[in-house]
Amino acid sequence: DAQTKSAFGNAHPFVLFRRFQDAARVRPALLRDALLRIGELDLRIKSTPNDPALLIEAFVFRWCTRRSG
């Protein structure tokens, strides 16, 4: 349907299947923590004069290194 096409584009079904498998391996606590930190990041972006791109880059770097460590 159109809504599914809008959400996933022209991705091959097997590729989507694999991504969903990958996502299922992420611990819920880690996702909750990331969502809380994203909320904090959103507030910092909106309430400080800091460069949003740098704030987002720092968040992604910290989150990815935390996941791998």
Q: How confident is the model at residue 3 (pLDDT cuts 50, 70, 90)?
A: confident
* pLDDT given for residue 45 in this prediction: 95
Which residues, at least 6 apart from 41, have a Cβ–Cβ distance to it below 8 Å? 55, 56, 59
Global model pTM greater than 0.95:
no
Q: For the chain, what percent of residues have pLDDT higher than 90?
A: 45
CA angle 27, 28, 34 (to 5 degrees): 95
Angle at 20 between CA 18 and CA 21, to 5 degrees: 65
Q: Which distant-in-sequence residues (6+ apart) come within 8 Å of 30 by Cβ?
A: 67
Write out pLDDT tens, residues 10-19: 888 899 999 8
What would the mean pLDDT of 30-42 be, rounded to a whole number?
A: 91
- The yes-or-no verdict on residue 69 having pLDDT over 60 is no
The C-alpha torsion from 57 through 59 and 60 to 63, rounded to 10°, is 160
